[in-house]
Structure 1
Amino acid sequence: MTSVLIIGGRGFIGRHLAAALTTAGHRVTAVGRDGVDLIRDSEADLVAKLAGHGLVVNAAGLVRSRGADSMAAVHAEGTERLIRACRTAAVPKLIHLSALGAAPDGQTAYQRTKGHAEAVLAASTGLDWCVLRPSVVIGRGGASTALFSALAALPLPIRIGPGTWTVQPVHVDDLAALVVRLVSWVGPLPRFIDVVGPEPMSTDTLTMILGAWLNLPSRRFLAVPEALLDVVSILGERLKGGPVNRETLAMLQAGNTAGSAPFADILGRVPQAVPQALARHPASDADRLHARLFFVRTVLRWSLALLWIVTGLLSFGLYPLADSYRLLGSMGLDGPLATLALFGGAGLDLTLGFLLLIGWCPAAVGGVMLASVAAFSLLAAGLPAEHWTHPFAPLLKNLPIAAATLAMMAMES
């Protein structure tokens, strides 16, 4: 039995590694950023947290930078600090999760920062290490699985690029099985392992495989111009939480394949084909619902944000101020109090809309929105009946808006 510390152990891959290693009889500590922070923990803190473990797995990673938590900080600088801490804490072995295509001169920041970490490991001494370079990792809970499942669940599945971009997906169970073997490995660890499935396939094929797993009917693909995909990816980066970004598109376009024989030799068997691996974990109603809501989540948040921004702009004068004051007067608000309500409410609407648009604490912002809608609805209760019974039902629309906000909060939590 080995004492294993998994950094990034709360993520998709980390959770599967922890389960497999625990099942194999190892003593596993799986921590997230609140347990081990490769950026903010001091060297002494890192050494103390690593001490006593026989092996460390570094599964920490980002697919997009988040302020101070940049890819360079986590992948490159964080790995450098981890290597030093392992040596000081006398941790004998380190398994590092990198990525297929990682290189210091890679096409994307993700590949370059992962490549930098590999270079640092290759130059290090006094530590037995192994770098795993997985291709697209498939399995329930994974980001790639969610994206391609969502594409398959659309009325017309969207074709990413020309549909011929090539990937070589590996199921997370095989990646976890590999780590279990490496933890018990006798002798020096293999240095670099490309972790890939048995055969390359197009992104269209992967989409169809996941559609079949979800028990969805086969449908014709909808081709989307690459220029439009670029726009969507840029919006996703700028407004946060978009379905794709330029990093993921660039890596898909570049291709993601390698020979599977070395991986199979170390694993002790041929890796599973994706359809067979997925068949071991049948899709549920929850999987199908998640796939169908994948794109709805972003559209819902952005549309609610737009509604609040436009409402704020209208209240600031795009809608005639005299009519706004007249409406407030019918609610019993006059003079300075009406001005405060009009412009204070407009400022609040704009602030909440922009915060939601950039993805800042959506659940908390949604809570304030609900409170604001409830407060306005109470104030509006005394308005003439025409505001409630008009065919366009301007005030009754608060009910579906509140419901949409609740749904957004649930999906963003």
Structure 2
Amino acid sequence: MNDDGARRPPRPARGGGRRTTGDGDGQWLADVAAGAARDAGNVPVALLGDYLPLLADAAIAGRKPERAELDAVEALGRRAAEQGISAGRVVQLYLSAARRLWQDLPEVVRSRDREAVRAAAAAVLQVVDDAVATLAEGYAVARRDLVRREETLRRELIDDLLRGDSDLGALVGRAEPFGLDLARVHQVALAAPSRRLPDTDAAITALEAVIFDRLGDRDVLVATKDGLLVVLAPADATAPDGTPGRHDTPDDLGRLMHDQLRRLPRGRPWRIAVGRPHPGLYGIARSYEEAREALTMASRLRVSTPVVNARDLLIYRVLLRDQPAIVELVHAVLHPLTQARGGAEPLLATLQAYFDTGGVATETAKRIPVSVRAVTYRLARIRVLTGYDPADPAHRFTLQAAVLGARALDWPEQPLPAAG
């Protein structure tokens, strides 16, 4: 009797006697459950549910679990996933419980013949097989649901962060579960595939693995937006061990991303653009806009390097700040090139390569590529059509500024905007 007068279930003796799954086995099964929980790293005993009685019934009576009982095990798998317990520990809990229970069963079935013991073992293994498979299925379903919910929250958060006009107080609370401190200095990097974004899960997983390893998982967010991969990272990063992060310049983040993405089977070649670091919530949106502009400019300028930095393209923002003036310059200086056979583009490409190589005709020929004679012929045609000599230092600045403006405006691919 216990203190309140209720009858305490007797603990089965260790020395023998037939155990059943009746009330007298409560303490025995509780001991087995507690031991299995310790084996699995102190996983909650409640996650076993009625699994141990199912095993005992199978061993002693050969009873198979009913569908409703397996459904209950599946629900326990979902609960384990929702509680953040790893799948390995939950499976270990179930396997350890089966092992501990079976260690006591030989005393129960010792009087049976060999075939009866074999049948009991087969029945127990069948229950273990069914229960663990059902447990894992429930766990996987719950994890998929959690991943979908997290992905939705991640996508909504990144959209609001990059837009820059959301309520700061609300965003702080939403960003905290993702480890983002919106008061820090962040930068945004964008990755554009050559055609279409490949499997997003694989791309995000690949980026997360390498970026988390280099920068840690705090203040880092990887997502997709408008067909691009987006990486939000701290500019003053620290590694997971607390030491300074291993990227010293904004370009390092871009190179880190490119080195990882180019290994993916699809999406190559990738173009990476990195915005400048800025503090606070609105700095994130500003860095994102700079990265988008850098992607656009890199395409228009036909930049050959796979990683571009917004800092290196600031001249184009300066040029476009007074768009009417740059439109007038391009029209006045370069529009006569449209009279050439083949249009303005070959001559414009020659001018750009000529300036990029420091005015060296042989290097220009390699860059385009054409013969050196073709380069000298085109430079002469430019001088005749525009009245500006690319080799004359007094003319070179005007021509180069006009070329930069033409590329920024995507001319002659697109018509010049109307002067306003």
TM-score range, shorter chain: under 0.3
More contact order relative to length (CA 8 Å, sep ≥ 6): 1
TM-score when scaled to structure 1? 0.23
Which one has a bigger Cα radius of gyration?
2
TM-score when scaled to structure 2? 0.23
More helix per residue = 2
